[in-house]
Chain A
Amino acid sequence: MTTTLPRKKKRAEAPSGRTLVSPSQLRTRGGKTLYVIVFVCTFVAFTIAFLFPLYWAVTGAMKTPAELAATPATLVPREWHPESFAEAWDQMNLGKYFLNTVVVAGGAWLVQLAVDVPAAFALSKLRPKFGNVVLGLMLVTLMLPAAALLVPTYVTVTDLPLLHLNLINSPTAIWLPAAANAFNIYLLKRFFDQIPDELIEAARLDGAGPVRTLWRIILPISRPILAVVSILTIVAAWKDFIWPLLVFPDTGKQTLSVMLQRVAIDMPLNLLVAGMVLASIPMIALFLVFQRQIFAGLTAGSIKG
């Protein structure tokens, strides 16, 4: 896995390296045949297990409700009805829910960057007094299972301490708690730690203040980690279910996931499936474009790749 963090330059160049099966064994005729058999089996198994369900959903959406309910199910639709996607869009008012979800995920992303990047920079490069205490208190929150904080955070969001604001039905109920993300701060801090201090000193000698240094020097060279953090944040916000379910009782404000679950019983199955496919497209597109960042995020900060 190619993590994009600096200092980790020594990456395993395993793809061509020696693995469990010895290369000499693979070169024999029997070895070659066995390899082909294993390869084909794995290929077929992976395709059936992971891609076929998606094929089933996309084609299912284009079947008529009668065909969907018939047994045995058809592998290829007898009649194609691609217009069910448009119908689903209209009937479920998907445009509105897409917008809601984009606002929730986009806002969570911006607020997180705005809060976590300066914090990580301050902890890493300015190293204030008691900085380690602050970082430690933040990291402690990682040790709590998320579910354990569900109820008290909900209670807090309904009546913010001191301010006495009720954030229910407001996207801020998602944005603000999301920004309390110790994992992101930790990832960012670790990256900033590896930026040489000399660079910052040089900027300071040139008369740049800390904010300017952060903006003009640190952020441009931190693009890889910012990409990882951004993707992690957006994907998490798009996929989240239980928290949006709690904070958006107003059906018009809900995100796609919450809405789909709510209408699941009443919708004709073909339209529901069409809606599900449409709701997944942004994530799949994101995945295809940002694979590298997503795979890097998978191993960054967790386990040595």
Chain B
Amino acid sequence: MTTSPLPTRPRPTAAPAPRPLPAPPHRRRAGFLREQISGWGMIAPAAVLLLVFVFLPAILGFGLAFTNARLISPRPVEFVGTDNFARLFADPAFWRSLLNVTYFAVVVVPVQSALALAMALLINKKFRGVNFFRTVYFLPVVTSMVVVSLLWLFMYRKDGLINELLSTFSFGLIQGADWLNDPATAMPAIIALSIWQAAGFHMIIWLAGLQSISGELYEAAQLDGASRWHQFRYVTWPGLKHTRSLVLVTITIQALGLFDQVSVMTQGGPLDSTTTIIYEAVRSGFKQQETSYASAISLVFFFLVLLISAVQRYLTREKD
């Protein structure tokens, strides 16, 4: 008995009957060409727009940082070397903004990702009203940061809602601060509202990760009598490995780009306690029209983002 090693397509036994010949070379070539032309035609609109509005300005920004360009200026643009950077590194407001952004990120990254994960776990399973909770948790994300900032500006007043709530829940023991007008509390106040606004977005990313974990793993764990904590520790947490680094990187980059809240609520004050890198860039680039100086700040910001995501990628790399 002969065993065929692998199921193969039945070979034609007889000599192949005269078949219609493959399309003549010029016809095939036309099909290939047509595919190339339509393909590039479909890629072109998006590619050209990305080229003009992302690549060129990015390269321009790089170049402008070494010039004296202003937004509207009669003088021709001249190369000035590293003058902008020298001025930047000598500016105490820049160092202060770097410190503020670091403070912001160091608090926001762990707290927000933990809260977002907690929210995702709370609404991961199907239960009555799951859509209601998902909607409500996502509501702050839908609300624009500018509206949110204005709203919280009002709630953070000395006689505002936050202080009234604190006073009510502590039975009058806690008398709240004048949050945004005190250098010690202004940044924590901005941190709180930022976490409130963005946690829902990262909840969605966590949720995507949770739903990619196979339910069988949980069933197996339950059969072994694993407690809820053990299920989380040995099934959920390892299963979220990739999601973890994604959440970490996106929250960090967003934290470094802190701008809207500061622009609406404090304009960097009081006493520079809430100024940020992007706020400084916009202040010099837009209000003072110093495009070149702002480009220098943006460039420093970009390298900071690159550096931090590289470090995070290294720390969360797969250690096999």
Q: Judge: A and B partners, yes or no.
A: no
Interface, chain A (partner B; CB < 8 A): none
Seen from chain B, the residues whose Cβ lies within 8 Å of a Cβ on chain A are none
